[in-house]
């Protein structure tokens, strides 16, 4: 049931435990669907509506290192950031959980072996079956042996969802499941509870009216920055005994990936290079080859976790990307831009459509124009810093009564050194394999501060409610339960202790799969 009318929700018959999920984005909708499939009564409260919308500019600000993602990578609508991302899935590595002595505060209270089974189940829940989750099987089925590398590097594949928007992918369940309700245009502004038991949440609708919704379990799934804002605002309220009021870790240890070009590539034999690094297509799924240090090599190398991906750019890259997005939008009934844009991009990139389709159908790969320039782009883990944090400005509030959220993003020195070491090793590995020579950017070679400033965030926001052993080093425990409470959980990358080199959403979803098990056992 999808509604903006709270009266229909309040009057619903409660035949089972109700879970209230705050946030109808990627993580929130996934949690709701999985709980509803198991017979639980679920209410999702989403601040936005059904149409794509952004957060008001006056509701946030940055005071530290410039951060693009706070503006362009958050969505206030049903489906949240799943309406903006490409749907890329990749797992963390074991070393990310184990803790590294050269990365402070990096040990998680949960091991990779404990979360690994939930990766497999999450793949299945998202429609990616066993034969598509093993890299070797994919390489074998597209008639290509997996390239081996020296210097401790390994080639690995990321997987891409066919329908990135969860509002679209889960539309049928949202509309038909009798035990799943989605309430739109209601902003959560506070909690009520006694002795650590949360009894209800308070919302404000778009007309300024207030409402309360009771539940047995509550899941904060509003996105990294909004989760901190809600927790900090609730802690500042004096009309109730907030269990996390004295927890100074709330909002702390904000992280994002640093991303940027580190050099251009002189390819030795173009056909072989493209066989290794061009995006693969098999069984209707898309797989992108990337480079990283293997787990054992990373354990023996005192650097942060970094991955490398090949960027192919030509004068028609933008046109071809538009045409592919237009076709996908038409297939999945998503919003398409005007016809004028379609014809303009057809004129520019039309001559490549036939080879694009041929490459797709016959070679199981994405077409790369011969004129493309090839660069190496890195994505680097950020070392946890307590001073990198989210806080609120209670003197400046929006129309719902929520304070402005302020991001003070800080980055240390370890990232620059790790990127340089990774890039130098990558150049050696590519040369030894006979694939290419990397012309490393001078600013990186010389460790110039101006070069570091050019690296930007990658909209992979983590931290603020990190997982820990106790209130002394975290906000939630290994089951994502907020310390001091009995029934408030945090879902999403806000709970991450470190960020790996990988895109964060898939690991966040795997933890939700585990949380669903925990809640249904309870």
Neighbour count for residue 359 (Cβ, 10 Å): 18
Q: How confident is the model at residue 215 (pLDDT cuts 50, 70, 90)?
A: very high
Determine phi and psi for 224, rounding to 5 degrees: -55, -50
Q: Among residues 476, 461, 470, 481, which one has the least CA distance to residue 405? A: 461
pLDDT tens by residue, 468-511: 999 999 999 999 999 999 999 999 999 999 999 999 999 999 99
CA distance 495 to 464: 7
Q: Dihedral of CA 462/463/467/469: which sign?
A: positive
Within 282-373, where are the H helices?
Answer: 295-299, 317-331, 339-349, 353-363
CA distance 486 to 491: 15
Residue 380 forms beta bridges with which residues? 258, 306
Q: Are 276 and 435 in contact (CB under 8 A)?
A: yes
The token pair at 455 is 């690296």
Over residues 24-53, the mean pLDDT reads: 96
Lowest mean pLDDT among 12-26, 181-195, 307-321: 307-321
Q: Are 392 and 406 in contact (CB under 8 A)?
A: yes
Q: How confident is the model at residue 462 (pLDDT cuts 50, 70, 90)?
A: very high
| Predicted pLDDT of residue 283 | 87
| Predicted pLDDT of residue 321 | 53
Residue 134 has pLDDT above 60, yes or no: yes
CA distance 96 to 298: 10
The model's pTM: 0.91
CA distance 30 to 25: 8
| Predicted pLDDT of residue 315 | 52
Q: Are 65 and 411 in contact (CB under 8 A)?
A: yes
| Predicted pLDDT of residue 141 | 86
pLDDT tens by residue, 233-275: 999 999 999 999 999 999 999 999 999 999 999 999 999 999 9
Sheet holding 186-194, edge to edge: 186-194, 197-205, 210-214
Q: Are 493 and 14 in contact (CB under 8 A)?
A: no
pLDDT tens by residue, 164-178: 999 999 999 999 999
| Predicted pLDDT of residue 7 | 53
Share of the chain above pLDDT 70, in %: 87
Q: Are 20 and 218 in contact (CB under 8 A)?
A: yes
| Predicted pLDDT of residue 368 | 79
| Predicted pLDDT of residue 101 | 92
């Amino acid at each position: 049931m999808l509604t903006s009318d709270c009266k229909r929700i309040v009057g619903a018959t409660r035949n089972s435990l109700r879970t209230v999920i705050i946030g109808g984005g990627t993580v929130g909708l996934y949690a709701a669907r999985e709980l509803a499939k198991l017979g639980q009564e679920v209410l999702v409260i989403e601040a936005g509506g059904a149409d794509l919308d952004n957060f008001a500019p006056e509701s946030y600000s940055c005071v530290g290192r410039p951060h693009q993602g706070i503006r362009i990578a958050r969505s206030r609508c049903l489906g949240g950031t799943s309406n903006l991302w490409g749907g890329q899935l990749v797992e963390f590595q074991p070393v990310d959980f184990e803790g590294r002595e050269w990365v402070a505060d990096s040990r998680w209270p949960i091991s990779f072996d404990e979360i690994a089974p939930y990766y497999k189940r999450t793949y299945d829940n998202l429609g990616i079956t066993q034969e598509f989750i093993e890299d070797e099987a994919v390489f074998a089925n597209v008639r290509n042996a997996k390239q081996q590398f020296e210097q401790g590097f390994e080639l690995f594949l990321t997987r891409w969802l066919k329908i990135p928007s969860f509002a679209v992918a889960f539309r049928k369940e949202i509309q038909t499941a009798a035990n799943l309700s989605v309430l739109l245009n209601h902003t959560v502004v506070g909690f009520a509870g006694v002795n650590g038991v949360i009894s209800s949440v308070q919302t404000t609708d778009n007309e300024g009216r207030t409402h309360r919704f009771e539940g047995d379990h509550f899941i904060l799934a509003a996105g990294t920055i909004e989760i901190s804002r809600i927790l900090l605002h609730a802690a500042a309220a004096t009309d109730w005994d907030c269990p996390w009021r004295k927890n100074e870790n709330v909002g702390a240890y904000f992280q994002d990936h640093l991303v940027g070009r580190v050099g251009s590539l002189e390819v030795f034999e173009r056909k072989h290079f493209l066989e290794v690094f061009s995006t693969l297509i098999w069984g209707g799924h898309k797989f992108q080859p990337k480079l990283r240090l293997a787990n054992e090599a990373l354990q023996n190398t005192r650097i942060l976790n970094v991955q490398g991906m090949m960027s192919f750019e030509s004068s028609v890259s933008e046109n071809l990307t538009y045409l592919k997005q237009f076709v996908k939008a038409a297939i999945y009934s998503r919003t398409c831009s005007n016809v004028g844009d379609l014809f303009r991009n057809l004129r520019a990139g039309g001559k490549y459509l036939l080879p694009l389709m041929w490459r797709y159908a016959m070679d199981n790969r994405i077409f790369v124009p011969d004129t493309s320039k090839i660069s190496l782009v890195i994505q680097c883990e950020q070392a946890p810093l307590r001073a990198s944090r989210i806080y609120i400005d209670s003197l400046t509030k929006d129309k719902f009564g929520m304070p402005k959220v302020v991001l003070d993003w800080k980055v240390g020195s370890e990232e620059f050194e790790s990127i340089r070491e990774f890039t130098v090793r990558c150049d050696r590995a590519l040369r030894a394999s006979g694939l290419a020579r990397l012309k490393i950017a001078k600013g990186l070679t010389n460790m110039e501060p101006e070069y570091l400033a050019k690296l930007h965030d990658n909209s992979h926001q983590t931290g603020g409610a990190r997982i820990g052993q106790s209130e002394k080093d975290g906000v939630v425990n290994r089951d994502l339960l907020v310390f001091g409470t009995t029934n408030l959980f945090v879902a999403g990358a806000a709970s991450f202790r470190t960020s790996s080199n990988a895109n964060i959403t898939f690991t966040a979803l795997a933890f939700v799969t585990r949380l669903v098990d925990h809640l249904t056992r309870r």
